[in-house]
Structure 1
Amino acid sequence: MLMQHVEHTTGDVPVKEADVRAYAWVVFALTVGLLLSDYMSRQVLNAVFPLLKASWALSDTQLGSLSSVVALMVGVLTFPLSVLADRWGRVKSIVLMAAMWSLATLGCALATNHGEMLIARAFVGIGEAAYGSVGIAVVLSIFPARLRSTLTGTFMAGGAFGSVLGMALGGTVAAHLGWRSAFGTMAALGLVLVIVYRFIVTEKRLALLQPANVGRHVQGLGVRMSLRTLMKGLFSTRSVVCAYIGSGIHLLVPAAMWAWMPSFLNRYYGMPVSKAAMSAAVFVLITGLGMVVCGNLADRLSKRARERKWMAAIAFCLICFALLIIGLRMPAGPLQLAVIGLGMFFSAGASGPSGAMVANLTPPSIHASAFATLTLANNLLGLAPAAILTGFIADRIGLLGALQLVPFAPLVAAIAFFIGKRNYAGDLDRLDALRERAVR
Structure 2
Amino acid sequence: MPISAPVSAPRADASPDLRIADAAPPARVTLRTHLSLALLALVYIFSFIDRQALAILIEPIKREFGASDTAIGMLSGLAFAVLYAGLGVPVGKLADRSNRRNIVAVCCALWSLATLGCGMAVYFWQLLAARMGVAIGEAGGMAPSVSLVSDMYPPRQRSFVISLFMMGPNLGVLVGMAAGGWIAQHFGWRHTFLWFGGPGLVLALLVRLFVREPGRGQFEAVRMAAAADTAATPPVSFLRQLLDLWRIPALRYLCLACGVAGVPSYAYGIWATSFLVRTYGVSLAEVGLMFGLTSGVGAIAGALFSGALADRLVVRDRRWQLALPMIGVALGIPSVLAFLLWPATGVWTIGGMHTPHALVFAMLFSFFAAWFPALSYSAMSQLVRAHERGVASALLNLFITLFGVGCGPFVAGVLSDALAPTFGAEALRYSLVATMGLYALTVGCYALALNPYRRRLEALGA
Indicate the larger mover: 217-226 or 252-261. 217-226
Contact between 1:250 and 1:347, CA under 8 Å: does it hold in 2? Answer: no
Partner of 2:60: 51
Q: What does the per-residue CA deviation read over 1:151-205, in whole Å, with 9 as the maximum and x for residues that have no partner?
A: 22222221221232122222211222211111111111111111221211243xx
How does 1:326-365 map onto structure 2 within 5 Å? 326-332=338-344, 333=346, 334-365=356-387
Contact between 1:130 and 1:372, CA under 8 Å: does it hold in 2? Answer: no
Q: 1:210 to 1:300 in 2, by over 3 A?
A: same
- Correspondent of 2:399 among 373, 377, 388: 377
Contact between 1:254 and 1:348, CA under 8 Å: does it hold in 2? Answer: no
How does 1:40-189 map onto structure 2 within 5 Å? 40-68=49-77, 69-189=79-199
User: How many residues are paired up?
Assistant: 419
How does 1:184-195 map onto structure 2 within 5 Å? 184-195=194-205
Q: 1:89 to 1:159 in 2, by over 3 A?
A: same
What's the offset of the Cα at 1:411? 1.0
Q: 1:29 to 1:406 in 2, by over 3 A?
A: same
Find out whether 1:269 has 2:280 as its counterpart. Answer: yes
Q: Which amino acid aligns with 2:42?
A: G
Q: Which amino acid aligns with 1:264?
A: F
Partner of 1:418: 447
Q: What does the per-residue CA deviation read over 1:264-322, in whole Å, with 9 as the maximum and x for residues that have no partner?
A: 11111111111112222124302243223222222222221111222212211110112
Q: 1:208 to 1:324 in 2, by over 3 A?
A: closer
- Correspondent of 1:400 among 429, 432, 440: 429
Q: Which amino acid aligns with 2:90?
A: P
Q: 1:32 to 1:423 in 2, by over 3 A?
A: same
The unaligned stretches of length 5 or more in structure 2 are 1-21, 347-355, 420-426
For residues 347 and 208 of structure 1, what CA distance do their matches in structure 2 show? Answer: 31
Q: Which amino acid aligns with 2:282?
A: M
Q: Which has the larger radius of gyration?
A: 2
Q: 1:216 to 1:43 in 2, by over 3 A?
A: farther
Q: Which amino acid aligns with 1:404?
A: V
Find out whether 1:319 has 2:331 as its counterpart. Answer: yes
Q: 1:167 to 1:314 in 2, by over 3 A?
A: same
Percent of pairs identical after alignment? 27
For residues 140 and 238 of structure 1, what CA distance do their matches in structure 2 show? Answer: 22
Q: What does the per-residue CA deviation read over 1:203-228, in whole Å, with 9 as the maximum and x for residues that have no partner?
A: 3xx34994599599869959973125
Contact between 1:157 and 1:289, CA under 8 Å: does it hold in 2? Answer: no
What's the offset of the Cα at 1:106? 1.0
Indicate the larger mover: 342-351 or 106-115. 342-351
Q: Which amino acid aligns with 2:440?
A: L
Contact between 1:253 and 1:347, CA under 8 Å: does it hold in 2? Answer: no
Find out whether 1:198 has 2:208 as its counterpart. Answer: yes
Relative contact order, higher structure (CA 8 A, sep 6+): 1
Indicate the larger mover: 223-232 or 164-173. 223-232
Indicate the larger mover: 312-321 or 345-354. 345-354
Q: What does the per-residue CA deviation read over 1:360-416, in whole Å, with 9 as the maximum and x for residues that have no partner?
A: 111111111111111111111222211111111111221101111232122111100
Q: 1:215 to 1:130 in 2, by over 3 A?
A: farther
Partner of 2:308: 296
Q: TM-score, normalised by structure 1?
A: 0.88
Q: 1:24 to 1:47 in 2, by over 3 A?
A: same
Q: Which amino acid aligns with 2:434?
A: L
The unaligned stretches of length 5 or more in structure 1 are 1-12, 436-440
For residues 45 and 210 of structure 1, what CA distance do their matches in structure 2 show? Answer: 39
Q: Which has the higher helix share?
A: 1
Contact between 1:167 and 1:281, CA under 8 Å: does it hold in 2? Answer: yes
Contact between 1:330 and 1:336, CA under 8 Å: does it hold in 2? Answer: yes
Q: Alignment RMSD, CA only?
A: 2.8
Contact between 2:95 and 2:143, CA under 8 Å: does it hold in 1? Answer: no
Find out whether 1:306 has 2:318 as its counterpart. Answer: yes
What's the offset of the Cα at 1:429? 2.9
Contact between 2:303 and 2:370, CA under 8 Å: does it hold in 1? Answer: yes
